Structure 1
Amino acid sequence: MTTQELLLRARGAKDAMAMADTQTKDRALLAMADALEAEQEDILAANAQDLEQARGTVSDVMLDRLALSPERIRGMAQGIREVAALPDPVGEVLARVERPNGLVIEKTAVPMGVIAIIYESRPNVTSDAAALALKAGSACVLRGGKEAHRSAKAIVSALKQGMEQAGLPRDALQLVEDTSRDSANQLMQARGLVDLLIPRGGAGLIRACVDNATVPVLETGTGICHIYVDRDADQTMALDILENAKCSRPSVCNAAEVCLVHRDIAKEFLPKFQKRMVEDRAAAGLHPVQLRLDGTAAAIIPGERAGERDFDTEFLDYVMAVAVVDDVEQAIAHIAQHSTGHSDCIVTENAAAARLFQTWVDSAAVYWNASTRFTDGGEFGLGCEMGISTQKLHARGPLGLRELCTFKFLIRGDGQTR
């Protein structure tokens, strides 16, 4: 089926999705989760083929993003069940005004219509995106990366079984067969067929969509996330946060890429940091972190000197840029210059410094004494998420159900004229 044909099918199913009641959608989601687990063997077999083809062409951390396991499939199914348990956003009255002339105006959440998602090699995005779009009353068109296409196809096949069991139209969930650049361009240019396009992936993909799309784009962002270790930080806490934010899963957008350290503690803290992130991890058989150091940090600990672009790079790997700053104000200025507006953190016991940091760092999520890895729909109580928005219009941060709806004004009168 061509991309145009499946877009037309999705468009044809959008009204049925918009009219589906909460019970029907939730029943479908629960059946989709069950089908995902029931078809686990086929999904894992498809994923094994994807992994085999990708080996030698992508890094180990990217292979980890691509890989599925029984535990990850159970996690995907649980994510769908959590979406089913969330309140239905469709029909929610967001604001209500009663005018002096008696008009009652209600700003009411309604479905988008057809939501298209272009994403790269993360099979779990397939189920997350489908679940969120369907619960939000929209049809969903998925265009994944070629590295994960077999996995995505097996996942969509299972999800459609669950949708049919509950009486939702199969055409409301579509997977683009063509993984070439042409199909992505078709989605970007599908005015009248796509109501919202969400790119989820690297900087190149997102920039291509923002620059070339003629349909509305909800921009998700790359994550150059910072951890600033303040003069008044609990240093053990800082080390725990840094290792978690960098190493728990370095290939994701909420992983930390930059460590900033207050000058007053740099000579004390940086050797501890180097030992924890490099020596201790290597001794434990874990992947050590490669440190890219500014001039001040390089005079204190061993590591590679930072290059011109290292503080502007989303490494998505066991690599971290490190700089020494004079104070919290300089940390804020550094982040303003280099951050992508995703997630940034201060580690400090000084409440005044924390308030200053959280007030002036202009990112979607700004942390005080917690890992940036929490920037996630599930961790924020939104169920699974469509991505992390770093823009400021319509939605910012984790994109949950509410962010996948638009709204209209419903006005009730009793004969008023103007």
Structure 2
Amino acid sequence: MDIKQLTTRSKIAAQQMLCSTSAQKDQCLDILAQKLVERKAEIFAANQEDVRQAKAAGRSEAFLGKLMVSESSFSAMSEGLSVIRRHPDPVGQILDSRDLNCGAHLDKVSVPIGVIGVIYESRPNVTIDAAALCLKSSNAVILKGGSDALATNRVLASCLLEAVQESGLPDFAVQFIDSADRALVLDLLHQHAAVDLIIPRGGKELVEFVRSNSQIPVLSHAEGLDHLYIDRSADRSIISSVILNSKTQNPGVCNSLDTILIHRDIAAEVLPLLACDLWKVSVQLRCDEESYQILARSSDQELLHRSTDQDFDTEHLALIANVAVVGSVEEAVSFINQHGSQHTEAILATDESAITLFTQAVDAAAVMVNCSTRLHDGGVFGMGAEMGIATGKLHARGPVGLRELCSYRYVVRGQGILRT
């Protein structure tokens, strides 16, 4: 496969997409939604084959869970597509407007980024989510999915290509790299003359590989490492429910909880009750010495362990949670900023001064106040689907939706105005 030729076609398509209308883009998404329904049985059959091969290769249950297309995940994919379709067109929006002293008028106008390469692993839904977001925002997209989901992605990509053609959008607005050859990823990362942005979706190893090898700007996060701090003012009635949801609703994702921090003043009161609730659902606790001593007299010793230094820098993606005792909200913030990944951090508190300090001082893309970390999600935020959650500070942070897939240009209007 000639990646340079492929990216050149994408660049031409991106230029053509600048003139695409909102009606064309919405029609494309409508056709795509219908294609998914019509070919649902084919999608499921291909996915079953992918899952069968992944099981034979000894893939983990967590991996298989991401790879599998279920009735609920298919419905979520379709609903995400519908939400994207209903969003207003993010292109051509006037972001700022002013009259200049020279007599000209200045508009700051949203425009597409151009060509976006999306490199992802085992989640087939990314094929649809990424393409829909890029098309709605008038970007051309190159999709490179993982080899484990190749059969499923082939069917989904076929639906996409048919929808693009039938709606009259540029033929190469969506391109799918139909190959398991990993060398093509490196080749794609070197096409800086045609590709404007790379977005990796996957585990730490993939993201770090892309960051290290790309000659193109990268928008990504590496891992979750999410914390929840229980302040001494926390409402006791919500502690267990929020932490259980953060940790156990879907432990294999980046917005699941990894570390529980608790104020020393309430640790002896709250920890045993919280641990009991977590142990009921088989959550292993890896505790610093102070929290370990508090829990050492508890009944479930099999799920109680002393933590290592490495634990607090590990995204577990499993039913494992670290626990540490801190003396203040300031100490909690310091701990998080040392060990966190700037992804999602949470506080349980009723003391407004503690909440204000935490939300201002903690370095994260999203801060949850008396809420589950699992709420940090583009779908929950009303974006439909998302490209992922960006933890950097340029140019987007948090869920990457339609607006985050746009840049801007300045348009200056006048009548023969010169600079003096």
Q: Please indicate the TM-score interval, normalised by the length of the shorter structure.
A: over 0.9
Aligned to 1:175: 176
1:159-199 per-position Cα deviation (integer Å, ceiling 9, x unaligned): 22222222223421111123333111112111112111111
Letter matched to residue 152 of structure 2: S
Aligned counterparts of 1:41 and 1:340: Cα–Cα separation in 2: 40
SS at match of 1:9: helix
Matched, 1:229 2:223: no
In the TM superposition, what are the counterparts of 1:236-275 in structure 2 within 5 Å?
236-275=237-276
Question: Percent same amino acid at aligned positions?
Answer: 40
Shift of 1:261: 1.0
In the TM superposition, what are the counterparts of 1:112-261 in structure 2 within 5 Å?
112-261=113-262
Q: How many residues matched?
A: 411
1:45-84 per-position Cα deviation (integer Å, ceiling 9, x unaligned): 1111111111253221221111111221121111111101
Aligned to 2:63: 62
Shift of 1:226: 0.6
Range with bigger deviation, 160-169 or 28-37: 160-169
Q: Which runs of 5+ in 1 are unaligned?
A: 282-287
Q: Is the 8 A contact 1:344 1:372 kept in 2?
A: yes
**Runs of 4+ more than 4 Å apart:** none
Matched, 1:79 2:73: no
1:196-226 per-position Cα deviation (integer Å, ceiling 9, x unaligned): 1111222222222222211121123411111
Aligned counterparts of 2:305 and 2:278: Cα–Cα separation in 1: 14
1:236-293 per-position Cα deviation (integer Å, ceiling 9, x unaligned): 3111111111111111111111111111111121111211111x22xxxxxx112111
SS at match of 1:300: helix
Letter matched to residue 16 of structure 1: Q
Aligned to 1:18: 18
SS at match of 1:391: coil
SS at match of 1:96: strand
Letter matched to residue 307 of structure 1: T
Aligned to 1:292: 286
Letter matched to residue 179 of structure 2: D
RMSD: 1.4
In the TM superposition, what are the counterparts of 1:21-40 in structure 2 within 5 Å?
21-40=21-40
Aligned counterparts of 2:93 and 2:150: Cα–Cα separation in 1: 36
Aligned to 1:97: 98
Q: Which runs of 5+ in 2 are unaligned?
A: 296-300
Matched, 1:416 2:417: yes
SS at match of 1:299: helix
Q: Is the 8 A contact 1:36 1:73 kept in 2?
A: no
Shift of 1:232: 1.2
Aligned counterparts of 2:139 and 2:307: Cα–Cα separation in 1: 46
Aligned counterparts of 2:308 and 2:67: Cα–Cα separation in 1: 29
Range with bigger deviation, 41-50 or 198-207: 198-207
* TM-score between both structures, scaled by the size of structure 1: 0.95
Shift of 1:41: 0.7
1:117-175 per-position Cα deviation (integer Å, ceiling 9, x unaligned): 11111111111100000001011111111111211111111222222222223421111
* TM-score between both structures, scaled by the size of structure 2: 0.95
Aligned to 1:48: 48
